[in-house]
Amino acid sequence: MATGNPGKIREIARLLDDLGIEVVAQSELGVTDADETGTTFAENSLIKARHAVDATGLPAIADDSGLAVDALDGAPGVYSARYADGAGDEANNDKLLAALDGVEDRGAAFHCVATFVDPASPEPLIAEGVWRGEILHARQGGGGFGYDPLFLVPERGCSSAELDPDEKNARSHRGQALRKLVELIESKYS
């Protein structure tokens, strides 16, 4: 898995567990993070997957995901993890709350593009997921990671940080993208 993010590793391993696919973080194989120079989630996902394949010679799955807030013209978008200049989740959440201070329209969506690159195949497999919600005025819940404590799941009336991990995976942008990616992998290699 072309990430070192422990939250993503847990979510992805949980999604792929039933398929008997062992998820190994790229850091366990000595692979450094790729430079995310793309301007879209798809570009960054492909950059990360190809970087891991080039470093290991093994097939790799990567994802790029982020939060797009309607009132902020899609920001933080591809810069979600670096929104507060790399200061981490708490600082990112603080900056988002400050940017939305006094804003009534708090619609937002998590986006995820997941990519599978097989060194033996010229064409990557790519899948996307989108999870619509709203941004809360204050953090709620202690689960999840990133913007989860601020992301209201309207149909459940709670933040994504308050969802059980299985329910979160069933609803989330990453869960959607990875389930679609797994279907593409099964279809190609069955």
Cβ 34 vs Cβ 1: under 8 Å = no
| Beta bridge partner(s), residue 69 | 108
Is residue 150 classed exposed, middle or buried when 0-12, 13-18 and 19+ CB atoms within 10 A define those classes?
buried
Report how far residue 2's alpha carbon sits from residue 188's, in angstroms, rounded to the nearest whole number. 21
DSSP string for residues in 81-103: GGTTTT--HHHHHHHHHHHTTT-
Q: Kindly name the residue from 17, 35, 54, 64 that is annotated as catalytic.
A: 64
Is residue 146 classed exposed, middle or buried when 0-12, 13-18 and 19+ CB atoms within 10 A define those classes?
buried
Dihedral sign from CA coordinates of 56, 57, 58, 59? positive
Residue 64 annotated among the catalytic residues of the structure = yes
The two structure tokens encoding residue 19: 């398929």
Instruction: Kindly list the catalytic residues.
Output: 64
